[in-house]
């Protein structure tokens, strides 16, 4: 009985239903979303990794890359040190020149690559081995290149390849593979030469980085791709299984050199992975392969130990044999996962609700606002409370009556209100389009202006909402001034679009969606503040100040200050990503986050006018 | 009335055939691997190992149907081109010189397999692709691949169900295409595959129970794949080390007793109930009854009791012998009766003596024989005289 009446009360109480409840629900969604993510490292929510592709058979072959091959390695190393660049005999070799320009910086280079044709294969598939002359950290990859050359000579003598093996030697890890892979699929820009020599469909790629002289201890596996795309988990697992199981070399990921498998370390690994995924930049030469659905990883020997280049060579040999066993593209295992340890992961089904809940909080609020604007009873008190609004005195002068009482009193006579959609729709879509302006600016101007542009943009972000708010309150110069219902509608549409974009994005790039969702979380609870001017002004100024701390350029400056990376470097990298790698992070920032943030500021700012 | 008697006779005949003896006249083997792809190398090796064994024990290629869906020997991934090994020691190349694959590649389908068993094949299908077994044939069916509860996967997208297989064997029985059948299967949950069999004279055995996996035995790290499955490995071990010749007297009971769960890592199963006489009778069948090529000579129809069959003849001869002995006894009895009638009250001994009296009468003629000898001597003497006289006369001339 009590429950029934409680439900009836709830149903008959629009204040609760449309004002309080959505706030509570949205807040709960955010809290649960964050807590969910924090639960993931626990054993109950994560899973042991396993190899799901039967064909891979990791570590089931003896690797014979040893002994005399080491002499070859030394020989090649000497030759390379003498800067005599010569491909191993018997390989079909070709070169490719390319040139990129981004943010006023030119990038030129020449890829050298050779193909081992599978002696008994059908030349329809290929594996790629990449050794860039410069690693992702800009060190000379001397041992890596030498190892690749030695492996090329060694592989050439096996007759058991079912796929061609392509050895690529790009000049650096940023541009070379991108130019090569684009040209391989004939999708290269005019400044990149086409490839004179090609093979079959690429099934997998391994990048070797070994820039130092001493023996190593563990193998660091880098797997993040452009736009947060990941290689199939089977490839990563195979590498871990071969390195750990067969060769006895430990595997690290996400620069977690000391991982004691504790909750903190697991969470840290996940968060590092999410940061890289969210930013969506290329973490190595392997990243460029991912957009073409070619699974790729970089192997980086790390630490001081007793493993030499032969051990790395055997690992790569064994990996190549596993890839060689493949009958079709890697597809059995996960493409969407978060790794927390070399042998533990969570799959998309487990972690997705986290970002979805955060994205959902915006949608819940948007729907609630839409429903709320359908009642006269609800919109009027808002009008009446804001005494400086032109229409305020028209119906009920009840500035002292609390909103709830008003709502309840009006409830019985509540009718369906007509929504005035034109202005809110135009404003929201207009502001989203304006997002293209900073997108264009930050991807086009020369790199030396990036820092200045960022600071200018912080200023713009302070002023622009106030101008817009003033214009809105004064009727934008158009005949009819804005009504409070329209403020709610503006917020509703903005949140609806934000929720929609973020939930869609969550399935593609979970981390980016999660991060943007968290940064936008305050927008759910920001409304036009009503009440006495003495309360209104300080609150809205304070709110605006706080919101400005969460604006995209302010966050960028804050993060750069915290990590010690110059703003120019970050933005140059971002522009490069946009121009060369096909990175989409900026689009999300400027066309999803920034407009939503701007509308939140406008709403808060409008309470001052 | 006579019709009824004839019917009863026919029924009796049928019953007699039903309780047939172990006699069979030919051996056939159907060896099937059902999976393709390099990482299933071991299934091919399983089948080829068994192929080698049945050939060693005497079944000719013409009576072996070998189905191989993939060509591991020529796979580019094979580090030893042209070979297939079922052991990491690589002592025996299973793909050596004498191998006759009857169904290969995508010919290995469920349809082809069932058509083969039931002989529902076009006229133009060559003999090598036909199972030419008849009511006197012992058939060995060995299958291996990836399976599950009551199904076995064929190649990429097909599977054969336990009922399909049961019906195929049922039809084989109706068409008199086997005398006795040994069904062996090595796959995950293998024992579920023979649960639905219903036709008689089948012994079935599998590698693992419901919800159990079958495991591979070991991998060859140079070939880079597992090379044989556990159950098959230990079955082969028994066949290779114990059943050394086609004259082996080891029985199916011995073979099944050799299953060691601690080695096989799954629970192998055996089904006897379809076999007449059940387990007791089935265990007595020798291994070479199915794996070898023991050919019993059949005269017209070894099992039948029709007039003219060997059995009938032997029985007839035995009857005749009995008859003659009886007649002899009767005859002597009649003789004894007559002497008794001659010298009444005399004992049987005297009867026998008296019966020898005619022999005594012949002795009486011995005296006359001396006269005959005398005549003969004189004739010889006369001839000698003539010859001597002639030779003397001839010399003078």
In A, minimum Cα distance to B77 occurs at A160
Q: What's chain B's average pLDDT?
A: 83
The reply to whether A365 and A280 lie within a common domain is no
Please answer whether residues A224 and A241 qualify as being in contact, where contact means their C-beta atoms are separated by less than 8 angstroms: no
CB-based contact A61 B81, cutoff 8 Å? no
Looking at domain B23-291, its CATH class is alpha beta
User: What is the Cα–Cα distance from B180 to B197, expressed in whole angstroms?
Assistant: 13
pLDDT over 70 percentage in chain A? 89
Which residues on chain B are in Cβ contact (under 8 Å) with A162? 38, 75-77
> Residues A319, A321, A322, A326: is their CA dihedral positive or negative?
positive
List CB contacts of B270: < 8 A, sequence separation 6 or more.
B203, B204, B205, B256
A54, A122, A160: residue with CB nearest B79: A160
Q: Determine the length of chain A.
A: 609
Residue B19 pLDDT > 50, yes or no? no
ipTM: 0.72
List CB contacts of A115: < 8 A, sequence separation 6 or more.
A91, A92, A126, A164, A165, A166, A167, A197, A199
Q: Where are the domains of chain B?
A: 23-291, 298-343
CB-based contact B39 A57, cutoff 8 Å? yes
Tens digit of pLDDT for each residue in A211-227?
A: 988 899 999 999 999 99
> Residues A362, A363, A366, A367: is their CA dihedral positive or negative?
negative
Which residue is it, tokens 């890839």?
Answer: A323
Q: What angle do CA A595, A601, A603 make, to 5 degrees?
A: 105
CB-based contact A324 B77, cutoff 8 Å? yes
CA distance A56 to chain B (A): 8
Please answer whether residues A543 and A604 qualify as being in contact, where contact means their C-beta atoms are separated by less than 8 angstroms: yes
CB-based contact A120 B225, cutoff 8 Å? no
What's the pLDDT at B129? 92
Region class of B221: left (phi > 0), else alpha (psi between -120 and 50), else beta: alpha
The reply to whether A89 and A167 lie within a common domain is yes
What's the pLDDT at B304? 58
Closest by Cα among B231, B112, B102, B125 to B164: B112
3-state DSSP assignment of residue A346: strand
The reply to whether A307 and A415 lie within a common domain is no
The reply to whether A400 and A264 lie within a common domain is no
The reply to whether A336 and A358 lie within a common domain is no
Residue B16 pLDDT > 50, yes or no? no
CB-based contact A120 B81, cutoff 8 Å? yes
Q: Determine the length of chain B.
A: 397
CA distance A163 to chain B (A): 9
Residue A416 pLDDT > 90, yes or no? no
Which residues on chain B are in Cβ contact (under 8 Å) with A54? 39
DSSP state of A419: P
Does the CB of A332 have a partner CB in chain B at under 8 Å? no
The reply to whether A358 and A324 lie within a common domain is no
B37, B75, B224: residue with CB nearest A60: B224
Which residues on chain A are in Cβ contact (under 8 Å) with B224? 57, 60-61, 321, 325
Which residues on chain A are in Cβ contact (under 8 Å) with B81? 120, 159
The order of strands in the sheet holding A47-48 is A47-48, A344-347, A337-341
List CB contacts of B151: < 8 A, sequence separation 6 or more.
B159, B160, B161, B162, B193
Q: Which of A308, A342, A376 is the last residue of a domain?
A: A342
Among B43, B179, B188, B217, the one annotated catalytic: B188
The reply to whether A362 and A321 lie within a common domain is no
Q: What CATH number is given to the structural domain containing A310?
A: 3.40.630
pLDDT over 90 percentage in chain A? 40
The reply to whether A23 and A99 lie within a common domain is no
A positions 185-224 inside 8 Å of B (CB): none
CA distance B40 to chain A (A): 9
- The domain in which residue A413 lies consists of 2-39+352-606
Q: How many CB pairs under 8 A join A and B?
A: 48
In B, minimum Cα distance to A161 occurs at B77
List CB contacts of A604: < 8 A, sequence separation 6 or more.
A465, A469, A526, A527, A528, A529, A540, A543, A544, A547
Does the CB of A159 have a partner CB in chain B at under 8 Å? yes
Work out the average pLDDT over B91-111.
89
Of residues A484 and B195, more confidence is placed in B195
CA distance A91 to chain B (A): 19
Please answer whether residues A133 and A172 qualify as being in contact, where contact means their C-beta atoms are separated by less than 8 angstroms: yes
B188 given a catalytic annotation: yes
Using alpha carbons, list the distances in angstroms from residue A202 to A166, A296, A297, B45, B140: 9, 10, 14, 31, 45
SS3 sequence of B323-364: HHHHHHHHHHHHHHHHHHHHCCCCCHHHHHHHHCHHHHHHHC
Q: What's chain A's average pLDDT?
A: 84
CA distance A493 to chain B (A): 49
Please answer whether residues B18 and B59 qualify as being in contact, where contact means their C-beta atoms are separated by less than 8 angstroms: no
Number of domains in chain A: 2
Round to the nearest angstrom and report the end-to-end CA distance of chain A: 48
CA distance B101 to chain A (A): 22
Which residues on chain A are in Cβ contact (under 8 Å) with B188? none
Interface probe with A: pick from B69, B155, B224, B227, most Cβ of A within 10 Å: B224
Work out the average pLDDT over A574-584.
91
CB-based contact B77 A158, cutoff 8 Å? no
CB-based contact B81 A57, cutoff 8 Å? no
Round to the nearest angstrom and report the end-to-end CA distance of chain B: 96
CB-based contact A159 B224, cutoff 8 Å? no
Q: What's this model's pTM, rounded to 2 decimal places?
A: 0.77
Tens digit of pLDDT for each residue in A54-101?
A: 788 887 788 878 777 877 887 777 777 655 444 555 677 888 999 998
Confidence class for position B357, pLDDT limits 50, 70, 90: very low
Interface probe with A: pick from B76, B81, B82, B156, most Cβ of A within 10 Å: B76
Confidence class for position A267, pLDDT limits 50, 70, 90: very high
B37, B77, B222: residue with CB nearest A62: B222
Q: Is residue A579 part of a domain?
A: yes
3-state DSSP assignment of residue A506: helix
Does the CB of A321 have a partner CB in chain B at under 8 Å? yes
B146 given a catalytic annotation: yes
Which residues on chain A are in Cβ contact (under 8 Å) with B222? 61-62
Q: Is residue A59 part of a domain?
A: no
Residue A390 pLDDT > 60, yes or no? no
Among B146, B196, B218, B265, the one annotated catalytic: B146
Does the CB of A120 have a partner CB in chain B at under 8 Å? yes
CA distance A206 to chain B (A): 20
Q: Please count the helices (runs of H) and the strands (runs of E) in chain A.
A: 22, 11
A positions 41-70 inside 8 Å of B (CB): 54-55, 57, 60-62
Tens digit of pLDDT for each residue in A40-49?
A: 888 888 888 8
Residue A131 pLDDT > 90, yes or no? yes
Tens digit of pLDDT for each residue in A325-376?
A: 888 888 888 999 999 988 889 989 899 999 999 999 999 999 988 888 877 5
Q: Which of A324, A342, A360 is the last residue of a domain?
A: A342
CA distance A190 to chain B (A): 38
User: What is the Cα–Cα distance from A234 to A222, expressed in whole angstroms?
Assistant: 14
The reply to whether A187 and A238 lie within a common domain is yes
What's the pLDDT at A361? 92
The reply to whether A502 and A541 lie within a common domain is yes
Does the CB of A526 have a partner CB in chain B at under 8 Å? no
CB-based contact A118 B78, cutoff 8 Å? no
Tens digit of pLDDT for each residue in B33-88?
A: 999 889 899 999 999 999 999 999 989 999 999 999 988 888 889 988 889 999 98
Confidence class for position A234, pLDDT limits 50, 70, 90: very high
Q: Which of A302, A323, A342 is the last residue of a domain?
A: A342
What's the pLDDT at A1? 59
Does the CB of A161 have a partner CB in chain B at under 8 Å? yes
| Contact residues of B toward A, CB < 8 A | 37-39, 74-79, 81, 219, 221-226
- The number of angstroms, rounded, from the C-alpha of B42 to the middle of its chain's C-alpha atoms is 30
- List of E strands, A353-403: none
Work out the average pLDDT over B301-316.
67
Tens digit of pLDDT for each residue in B153-203?
A: 998 889 999 999 999 999 999 999 999 999 999 999 999 999 999 999 999
Using alpha carbons, list the distances in angstroms from residue A285 to A177, A224, A538, B261, B379: 6, 10, 52, 51, 132
Which residues on chain B are in Cβ contact (under 8 Å) with A119? 76
In B, minimum Cα distance to A122 occurs at B76
The reply to whether A21 and A128 lie within a common domain is no
A positions 249-308 inside 8 Å of B (CB): none
Residue B365 pLDDT > 60, yes or no? no
Please answer whether residues B185 and B227 qualify as being in contact, where contact means their C-beta atoms are separated by less than 8 angstroms: no
DSSP state of A76: H
The reply to whether A374 and A333 lie within a common domain is no
A62, A119, A158: residue with CB nearest B221: A62
């Amino acid at each position: 009985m009590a429950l029934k009446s409680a439900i009836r009360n709830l149903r008959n109480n629009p204040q609760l239903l449309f004002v309080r409840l959505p706030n509570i629900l949205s807040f709960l969604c955010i809290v649960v979303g964050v807590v969910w993510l924090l639960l993931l490292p626990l054993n109950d929510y994560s899973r042991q990794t396993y190899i799901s592709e039967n064909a891979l058979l990791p570590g089931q072959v003896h690797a014979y890359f040893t002994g005399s091959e080491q002499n070859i390695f030394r020989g090649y190393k000497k030759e390379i040190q003498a800067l005599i660049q010569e491909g191993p005999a018997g390989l079909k070799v070709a070169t490719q020149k390319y040139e990129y320009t981004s943010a006023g910086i030119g990038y030129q280079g020449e890829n050298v690559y050779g193909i081992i044709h599978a002696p008994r294969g059908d030349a329809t598939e290929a594996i790629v081995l990449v050794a860039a002359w410069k690693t992702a950290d800009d060190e000379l990859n001397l041992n890596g290149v030498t190892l690749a050359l030695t492996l090329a000579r060694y592989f050439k003598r096996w007759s058991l390849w079912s796929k061609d093996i392509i050895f690529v030697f790009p000049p650096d890890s940023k541009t070379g593979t991108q130019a090569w892979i684009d040209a391989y699929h004939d999708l290269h820009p005019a400044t990149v030469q086409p490839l004179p020599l090609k093979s079959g469909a690429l099934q997998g790629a391994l990048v070797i980085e070994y820039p130092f002289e001493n023996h190593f201890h563990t193998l660091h596996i880098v797997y993040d791709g452009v736009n947060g795309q990941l290689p199939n988990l089977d490839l990563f697992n195979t590498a871990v299984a071969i390195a750990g199981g067969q060769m006895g070399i430990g595997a690290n990921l996400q620069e977690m050199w000391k991982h004691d498998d504790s909750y903190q370390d697991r969470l840290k690994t996940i968060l590092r992975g999410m940061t890289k995924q969210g930013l969506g930049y290329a973490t190595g030469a392997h990243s460029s392969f991912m957009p073409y659905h070619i699974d790729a990883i970089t192997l980086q020997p790390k630490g001081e130990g007793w493993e030499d280049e032969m051990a790395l060579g055997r690992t790569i040999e064994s990996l190549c044999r596993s890839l060689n066993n493949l009958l079709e593209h890697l597809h059995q295992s996960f493409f969407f996962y978060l790794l927390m340890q070399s042998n533990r992961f969570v799959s998309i089904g487990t972690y997705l609700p986290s970002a979805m809940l955060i994205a959902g909080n915006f949608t819940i609020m948007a729907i609630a606002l839409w429903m709320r604007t359908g009642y006269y009873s609800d919109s009027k008190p808002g009008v009446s409370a804001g005494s400086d609004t032109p229409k305020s005195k028209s119906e009920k002068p009840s500035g002292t009556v609390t909103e709830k009482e008003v709502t309840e009193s009006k409830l019985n006579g509540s009718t369906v209100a007509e929504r005035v959609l034109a202005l809110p729709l135009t404003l929201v879509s207009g502001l989203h389009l304006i997002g293209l302006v900073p997108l264009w600016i930050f991807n086009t101007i020369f790199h030396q202006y990036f820092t200045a542009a960022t600071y200018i943009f912080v200023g713009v972000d302070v002023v622009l909402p106030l101008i817009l708010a003033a214009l809105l309150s004064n009727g934008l110069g158009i005949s009819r001034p804005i009504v409070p219902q329209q403020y709610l509608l503006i917020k509703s549409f903005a949140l609806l679009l934000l929720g929609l974009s973020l939930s869609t994005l969550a399935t593609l790039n979970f981390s980016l969606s999660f991060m943007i969702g968290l940064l936008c979380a305050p927008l759910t609870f920001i409304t036009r503040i009503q009440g006495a001017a003495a309360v209104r002004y300080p609150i809205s100024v304070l709110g605006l100040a706080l919101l400005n701390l969460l604006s995209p350029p302010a966050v960028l400056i804050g993060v750069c200050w915290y990590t010690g990376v110059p703003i120019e470097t970050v933005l140059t990298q971002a522009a490069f990503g946009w121009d060369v790698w096909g990175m989409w992070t900026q689009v999300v920032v400027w066309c999803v986050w920034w407009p939503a943030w701007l509308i939140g500021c406008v709403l808060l700012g409008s309470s001052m006018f | 009335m006579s019709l009824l008697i004839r019917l009863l006779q026919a029924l009796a005949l049928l019953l007699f055939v039903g309780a047939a003896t172990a006699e069979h006249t030919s051996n056939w083997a159907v060896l099937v691997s059902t999976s393709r792809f390099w990482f299933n190398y071991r299934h091919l090796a399983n089948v080829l190992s068994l192929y080698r064994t049945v050939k060693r024990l005497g079944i000719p290629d013409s009576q072996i149907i070998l189905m191989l869906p993939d060509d591991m020997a020529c796979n580019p991934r094979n580090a030893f081109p042209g070979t297939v090994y079922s052991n990491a020691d690589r002592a025996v190349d299973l793909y050596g010189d004498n191998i006759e694959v009857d169904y290969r590649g995508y010919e290995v389908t469920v349809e082809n397999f069932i058509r083969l068993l039931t002989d529902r094949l076009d006229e133009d299908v060559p003999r090598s692709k036909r199972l030419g077994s008849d009511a006197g044939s012992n058939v060995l069916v060995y299958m291996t691949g990836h399976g599950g509860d009551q199904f076995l996967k064929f190649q990429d997208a097909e599977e054969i169900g336990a009922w399909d297989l049961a019906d195929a064997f049922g039809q084989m029985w109706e068409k008199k295409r086997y005398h006795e059948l040994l069904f062996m299967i090595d796959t995950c949950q293998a024992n579920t595959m023979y649960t639905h069999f219903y036709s008689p004279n089948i012994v079935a055995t599998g590698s693992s129970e419901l919800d159990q996996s079958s495991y591979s035995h070991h991998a060859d790290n140079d070939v880079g794949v597992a090379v044989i499955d556990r159950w098959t490995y230990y079955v082969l071990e028994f066949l290779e080390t114990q059943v050394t010749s086609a004259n082996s007297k080891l029985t199916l009971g011995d073979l099944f007793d050799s299953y060691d769960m601690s080695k096989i890592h799954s629970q192998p199963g055996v089904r006897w109930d379809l076999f007449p006489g059940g387990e007791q009778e089935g265990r007595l069948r020798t291994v070479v009854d199915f794996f070898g090529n023991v050919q019993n000579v059949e005269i017209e129809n070894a099992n039948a009791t029709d007039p003219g069959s060997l059995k009938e003849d032997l029985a007839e001869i035995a009857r005749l012998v009995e008859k003659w002995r009886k007649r002899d006894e009767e005859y002597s009895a009649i003789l004894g009766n007559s002497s008794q009638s001659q010298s009444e009250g005399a004992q049987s001994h005297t009867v026998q003596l008296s019966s020898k009296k005619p022999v005594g009468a012949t002795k009486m003629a011995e005296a006359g024989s001396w006269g005959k000898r005398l005549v003969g001597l004189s004739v010889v003497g006369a001839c000698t005289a003539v010859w001597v006289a002639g030779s003397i006369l001839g010399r003078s001339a």
